[in-house]
Structure 1
């Protein structure tokens, strides 16, 4: 494993997104999830990402607490707050970035995770009704109180990042970024680098599409990907053709398409730390293979030229106005 920096934290070049262990991608399997967390540490993956809204009642944070009880000192732990969910279904019901909610959310996460400090605490989505200065000011007080080490923001615009950094250092921007999701490159990545924030891409495998797996290319009715524009019939046909291009490069390197997609992201800069999500050891092991995969300049250019069909969400209004997309 290779390591990169988020603030003064040394994190594995690939982190582990834990959402799918408890939320959005079919039935949970706690035993396999815990085995995957253990295998991650064996492989040198020390950067685990969760959120308070992954699963009903903070199920994913509670799952991680079982593992952290014996491994807390080995893990760089990131969690998020700000998306409010319906208590019965766990589905997103709004956003809240108020100072009062900041204080409520951190204490609830600390209790669920069974720890006294979060290494990286993100605002999950910007609340358009609360000035970012107020939200970040409240988050900064958590650092002073010793409950949080570093602050981050997920899916924030360049303008918001600069405003936030004027209140307190922002260590990381977590946004969707992959061969198939390029919209953050023109301004958000530039602003993150300007303020010294690492970039933490979620869904770096295009929600599985870039792996070329049958489950990802033809998701079941219960899989939330089936509701997204890129999986609608006309778009999906074009996107399958693009996946074939990734597969061709992978075959020439004796690698998998997923490894090629992750290697492309890792090549975008030493401040880029993708967090591919998985709930199975086999996929984790495959993903880690990307860390040592080198792409040629021509291969990088060919991948950069790919453009997917369809937006990544049905409502992309948040990209311009930060009205807060609620789907991860």
Structure 2
């Protein structure tokens, strides 16, 4: 597995990371034993970056990772943890909390659930509009100084917020959605990150499965699957978007790879400062994704991909309308 560095101040990590969210029910039921085996397979393949959130099924994901990582050398992997999203016992989020006292509280819970004495990259999942980012980051800096956190990360914020946070403490990376069908980050955010020496960890590189090559029109998502409410999967939009996938499939077949591999490799090819997160929840999907780290795309390949899926060609927002105001960038 090739390695990349998260910005100028962050850790060295594998060129592909493992996003663990899908192992905790966001796309419907997941098999716990298979999830644990998938984490083991990723580590054995050289994946060193594992991303989670304390609100993924309200601690379920962290506890699952603690089980999967038990007995592994703590220096052999890096944990990226998001915090701050508030939920009740019912469905859906109920707000964001970025207060300094909440930062310390969330961190204490994560350290306990994960069974570790430190988090490698700690980041607010969303910007709390009621709390200046300087205060949230200042609390994380205190935890870095105390040894509980190694690096500061951000998630889903705009370029101005990145600059404000970076002025308080160096930011290792920004985690944000980036894929062939979600490219808004290219306008202002990515240039700012590169100016400041900040890395990018890209989630949603397969558009939540939409551009994986495995989704089909009319497919019924499981009960509780987030995609039931995602505009890009809605009737009318999904058919249009899957036509883009078929155009991408022709490029992939000519290249001798799968659609998923091509889509992941495209994100990785956008810069050595970008690390795609693969949201595999089974060993089968992980095994398909891993070769993307070694897939070399030529200038001609990239041009063909751009013709198949031009910027802005996807139909529908990347989140339901209620979620869009909380994002740093749009589609």
TM over 0.5: yes
Q: State the match for 1:2 in structure 2.
A: 2
| Deviation readout 1:159-193 (Å, 9 max, x if unpaired) | 00000000000101000000010011111111111
Q: State the match for 1:145 in structure 2.
A: 146
> 2:217, 2:287 → 1: CA distance?
18
> 1:51, 1:18 → 2: CA distance?
9
TM-score (norm 1): 0.93
Q: Retained in 1: the 8 A contact 2:217–2:238?
A: no
Q: How does 1:85-100 map to 2 (within 5 A)?
A: 85-86=87-88, 88-89=89-90, 91-100=92-101
Q: How does 1:145-224 map to 2 (within 5 A)?
A: 145-214=146-215, 218-220=219-221, 222=223, 223-224=225-226
Q: Look up the SS of the partner of 2:240 in the other structure.
A: helix
How much has 1:90 moved relative to structure 2?
Answer: 6.4
Q: Look up the SS of the partner of 1:174 in the other structure.
A: strand
Q: State the match for 1:29 in structure 2.
A: 31
> 1:215, 1:110 → 2: CA distance?
40
> 1:137, 1:23 → 2: CA distance?
33
> 1:39, 1:74 → 2: CA distance?
14
Q: Look up the SS of the partner of 2:184 in the other structure.
A: coil
Task: Give the CA RMSD over aligned residues.
Answer: 1.7
Higher mean Cα deviation, 218-227 or 262-271? 218-227
> 2:192, 2:214 → 1: CA distance?
34
Q: 1:216 to 1:142 in 2, by over 3 A?
A: farther
> 2:30, 2:326 → 1: CA distance?
30
Q: Look up the SS of the partner of 2:117 in the other structure.
A: coil
Aligned length: 320
How much has 1:50 moved relative to structure 2?
Answer: 0.5
Q: Retained in 1: the 8 A contact 2:213–2:258?
A: no
| Deviation readout 1:191-230 (Å, 9 max, x if unpaired) | 1112211100111111111112136873425221121111
Q: State the match for 2:283 in structure 1.
A: 281
Q: 1:10 to 1:321 in 2, by over 3 A?
A: closer
Q: 1:221 to 1:61 in 2, by over 3 A?
A: closer
| Deviation readout 1:82-118 (Å, 9 max, x if unpaired) | 10111x2464211000011001000010000000000
> 2:60, 2:37 → 1: CA distance?
17
> 2:78, 2:26 → 1: CA distance?
24
Q: 1:135 to 1:260 in 2, by over 3 A?
A: same
